[in-house]
A = this chain, B = another copy of it.
């Protein structure tokens, strides 16, 4: 499998899934069609949970795309198992717009926050599987250090576990778990000092 075409296909799916998120924000129909200024303003303001869910998922897919990029920059060969795991990852990514629309519609309910968390936990788990497979088959570039691999392994495990904990939290406190998803995404998304030297041409 040609690595370039593999990455381009993945990038297209990430970019498309991140764009489809906007379909989760839609103005509900008005009972008496031409709404008053007040009714329209209220209808727009009532969309804030959808907007929050949009921002959350935009961040999540943005982070997943960056992770994908960071991982495959270090990888030399793409075998069929990698393609299979990657397709699974994309399948979960494409599912995010649906989970997001449910979360935006019912932001304080157990089923919606649980479904959303399950989606994130699945994507985190598949990243761990991908890393495990790449390590096991020695597909890393020769000049990738053991330390870098160990660090990535820990980061991936922590990520998946945090999502799993937030998912379980949704069964008792849905709003808390929504807040946790936002916190985790915010933490990963916002650039921190230590990462500055990752900048390359």
- State whether A22 touches B97 (Cβ < 8 A): yes
CB-CB contacts of A122-143 with B at 8 A, as 1s and 0s?
Answer: 0000000000000000000000
Of the candidates B16, B69, B73, B76, the one whose C-beta lies within 8 Å of that of A19 is B16
Of the candidates B13, B21, B109, B196, the one whose C-beta lies within 8 Å of that of A80 is B196
In residues 1-42 of chain A, which contact B (Cβ within 8 Å)? 1-3, 5, 7-9, 11-23, 25-27, 35, 37, 40-41
For A21, the chain B residues whose CB sits under 8 A away are 94
Q: Tell me if A's interface is mostly helix, strand, loop or mixed.
A: helix
In residues 74-117 of chain A, which contact B (Cβ within 8 Å)? 76-81, 83-84, 87, 90-91, 94-95, 97-98, 101-102, 105-106, 109-112, 115
How many angstroms between the C-alpha atoms of A124 and B37 in the bound complex? 27
For A27, the chain B residues whose CB sits under 8 A away are 101-102, 105
- What is the size, in residues, of chain A's interface with B at 8 Å between Cβ atoms? 71
